[in-house]
Structure 1
Amino acid sequence: MTYDPTGHLLLTPIDKDAPARVRRLRELGLGERPEPAFDAFAHRLADVTGVPFSMVNFIDGNRQFFAGLHTPEGAHPVAAPATATAAGAVGRFMARDHGYCPHVVVRRKALVLEDVRDYPRFAGNPVVDEIGIRSYMGAPLMDRTGVALGTICVVDTDVRPWGRAGLETIKAMAAELMEQINRRETACSDLL
């Protein structure tokens, strides 16, 4: 038997924080349904970064849910069952082992991939072939209790030279969205 040092690189990282994240998402009422405010945020994120796809993504132990979604196709059905259709359309749900957001959540740090094919760990991800993803940039959504709830991310079917400016933009926008979520939590607790 030959040892393949790259074989483990394609695996989705072990997520020890998933139970705490699921509890926190339930407390906040996030990750179960699309929300117009998150769709609007994803649309603005796409405009700011100039990409065709952007998401506000909440991740539980088994799947990813795009509570905010911007794609070139426009409308986004809630019942979309899979990552992609034969035409490469993106739906609201994605398996946990697809894409790069689970890596961002486990790492708890932003991730910038100007060309995913340059990184053996990420080049073999199913989204490369199914959707044609060539570049990715995402940042974690860290709540006030220290739990990574999910991510905001942008993807493109072309190589993108994101650079430091892109990294700073995605991190600033993640912080902005978390401020909105924190204000919403505070408003809800004030009503109790």
Structure 2
Amino acid sequence: MSYGPPRPAGRLLLTPEDKEAPARALRLRRLGLGERPEPELDAFAHRLAHLTGAPYAMVNFIDEERQYFAGLHLPGAPAPASPGRPEVGRWLPRDHGYCPHVVVRRKALVLEDVRDYPRFAGNPIVYDYGIHSYLGAPLVASGGMVLGTVCVADATPRPWGRTGLETIKSTAAELTARIERCEADGLPL
């Protein structure tokens, strides 16, 4: 079956409105997150990929206009960006992918085959990057603000199962606690 390029489907392809984005962007700037690669978050993404068996894993921070992967694990990816060398694959527009939905929903999202869900099948991430499976959870701070997401993805459909869901949720809680400890102590991540 051919899925071809996305077709307009009314409101189905719209990224949900994120009223918390300005406050989140301000807090992320204060934390120094979401503007540059973080080696600790790259290591976290690598561990997440290993735990889930997924080829792609990200720690994603979202502001009003874009998503920034401060932690990133890609199969065969070059080393993280350095001064004078452009970043590869570190950001996406806010209307690409599924993390903006996780942030607004404030709960985990499991898509074994994104093409099975009309709301998500036409997302540019399917056609531009070949992503067909997604599992993500929000980084919900103790005050209730969602800081971003942790997620994994695959180019082939896959059953994430209860184990995958519990893994993504527990790693999100672990990372949120770590970020909050650093914030409370005034330390960098």
Q: What 5-or-longer segments of structure 1 have no aligned partner? A: 1-5, 81-89
Question: Who is 1:77 aligned against?
Answer: 81
Contact 2:39 2:71 in 1 (8 A): yes
Question: Who is 1:57 aligned against?
Answer: 60
Q: Superposition RMSD on alpha carbons, in Å?
A: 1.5
Q: TM-score, normalised by structure 2?
A: 0.89
Question: Who is 1:104 aligned against?
Answer: 102
Contact 1:62 1:95 in 2 (8 A): yes
Question: Who is 1:113 aligned against?
Answer: 111
Structure 1 range deviating more: 163-172 or 114-123: 163-172
Contact 2:37 2:81 in 1 (8 A): no
C-alpha deviations, 1:28-80, integer Å up to 9, x for none?
Answer: 11111111100000000000000110000000000000000000022243633
Question: Who is 1:40 aligned against?
Answer: 43
Alignment of 1:20-35 (within 5 A): 20-35=23-38
Q: What 5-or-longer segments of structure 2 have no aligned partner? A: 1-8
Percent identity, aligned pairs only, is 67
Q: What's the offset of the Cα at 1:162?
A: 0.7
Distance 1:15 1:183 in 2: 26
Q: What's the offset of the Cα at 1:143?
A: 1.3
Contact 1:43 1:70 in 2 (8 A): yes
Distance 1:149 1:179 in 2: 12
Q: What's the offset of the Cα at 1:24?
A: 1.2
Contact 1:114 1:161 in 2 (8 A): yes
Question: Who is 2:15 aligned against?
Answer: 12
Distance 1:56 1:19 in 2: 19
Distance 2:76 2:162 in 1: 29
Question: Who is 1:138 aligned against?
Answer: 136
Question: Who is 2:124 aligned against?
Answer: 126
Distance 2:33 2:143 in 1: 15
Figure out how many residues of one structure are paired with residues of the other and give that number: 176
Question: Who is 1:177 aligned against?
Answer: 175
Amino acid at match of 2:161: G
Match of 2:159, SS? coil
Match of 2:138, SS? strand
Distance 2:31 2:144 in 1: 14
Distance 1:144 1:27, change over 3 A: farther
Distance 2:20 2:184 in 1: 24
Match of 1:160, SS? coil
Match of 1:170, SS? helix
Distance 2:148 2:186 in 1: 21
Contact 1:152 1:174 in 2 (8 A): yes
Q: TM-score, normalised by structure 1?
A: 0.87
Distance 2:90 2:164 in 1: 25
